[in-house]
Amino acid sequence: MTALEHFDASAASYEANTAGCTVEVMEKCLSLLPEIDTDSVVLDNACGTGLSTHVLLRTLKDGSKPTIHVVDGAPKMVEISRKRFEAYENIHAKVAPGEDLSAFSDGTFSHSVTNMGLFFFADASKGARELFRTLAPGGTAVVTGWSDLGHLDSVHRVQKAIRPEDKPFQLPIAKEWFDLGHMKQVLSEAGFGTRVETSEVTAHWAADNLQDLVQNMTTRLAAAVMKEWTDEEKKKAEELFPEAMKPKYEEFTRSDGTKAVGLKMRAYIALCKK
């Protein structure tokens, strides 16, 4: 199964499976972007269920209506996004893989966002060139990736304790994409050259409390791992997860001021200028 097929199949459960981590990264991206207003034309690339645009809309000044294009190569993701924003006449949803943005002319976008998407492209270099091509001169693009999937550490510990012979569960991300230098090189070679600034931020695979975090882990993220496990093994896993989570577990405050708990992850942000 390709990454695109994986996300098309998991579209309905995507937001639960990511447990707020991609939203948290996007919130931190917005502080780096130039102001978005009614004159802006924004690309939400590899949009998934539209979470990045959802975050963006919360931060707009009253009355601002930028034109936003939400695109993804997974039709089911686009359908969810289309329904989510159907009340917005300024938001347009389209099925389009990031490697082929031919529906858009050169220099279309003032702002471009690819949040946790580039490393899933079948041809990331081509996707990066499309980002550069469709960005307007003077425009800004943000591209994000993961440097540490801390939430998977607990899954690996539980796997090792119960079924040590099993291959540790991994997301379909090639190893080189955990290296910020690789992402920067791909974007630089796509046309951005030296105009790529990078930073790292903390995000969380989160829930309101530890009980919910464990339940979400066993019923969502680890469900694929435990699909063939016996009921006894699944019960044992649920018992082991609180201890397995400790190295990455922390309490934190969400952007809206509410308290939460989560497993620490590290993300990188590439800010690209044209």
Domain-wise residue ranges, the chain: 3-149+171-208+253-273
Q: What is the DSSP letter of 47?
A: -
3-149+171-208+253-273: in CATH 3.40.50.150: yes
What is residue 170's predicted lDDT score, i.e. its pLDDT?
85
261 pLDDT more than 90: yes
Question: For 181-213, how does the pLDDT look when each residue is reduced to its tens digit (9 = 90+)?
Answer: 999 999 999 999 999 999 999 999 999 999 999
What is residue 2's predicted lDDT score, i.e. its pLDDT?
53
Residues 6+ apart with CB under 8 A from 217: 151, 154, 155, 241, 245
pTM above 0.85, yes or no: yes
CB 9 within 8 A of CB 1: yes
User: Cα 60 to the chain's mean position, in Å?
Assistant: 21
* Nearest CA-CA partner of 200 in 145, 241, 250: 145
What is residue 263's predicted lDDT score, i.e. its pLDDT?
96
CB 76 within 8 A of CB 50: no
Segment 126-135 mean pLDDT:
98
173 pLDDT more than 90: no
Question: For 84-107, how does the pLDDT look when each residue is reduced to its tens digit (9 = 90+)?
Answer: 999 999 999 999 999 999 999 999
With cut-offs at 50, 70 and 90, classify the pLDDT of residue 17: low
Q: For all residues of the chain together, what is the average pLDDT?
A: 91
Nearest-angstrom CA–CA distance, 79 and 95: 9
What is residue 248's predicted lDDT score, i.e. its pLDDT?
96
Question: For 52-75, how does the pLDDT look when each residue is reduced to its tens digit (9 = 90+)?
Answer: 999 999 989 888 999 999 999 989
What is residue 223's predicted lDDT score, i.e. its pLDDT?
77
Question: For 207-246, how does the pLDDT look when each residue is reduced to its tens digit (9 = 90+)?
Answer: 999 999 998 888 876 777 888 899 999 999 999 999 999 9
What is residue 132's predicted lDDT score, i.e. its pLDDT?
99
With cut-offs at 50, 70 and 90, classify the pLDDT of residue 16: low
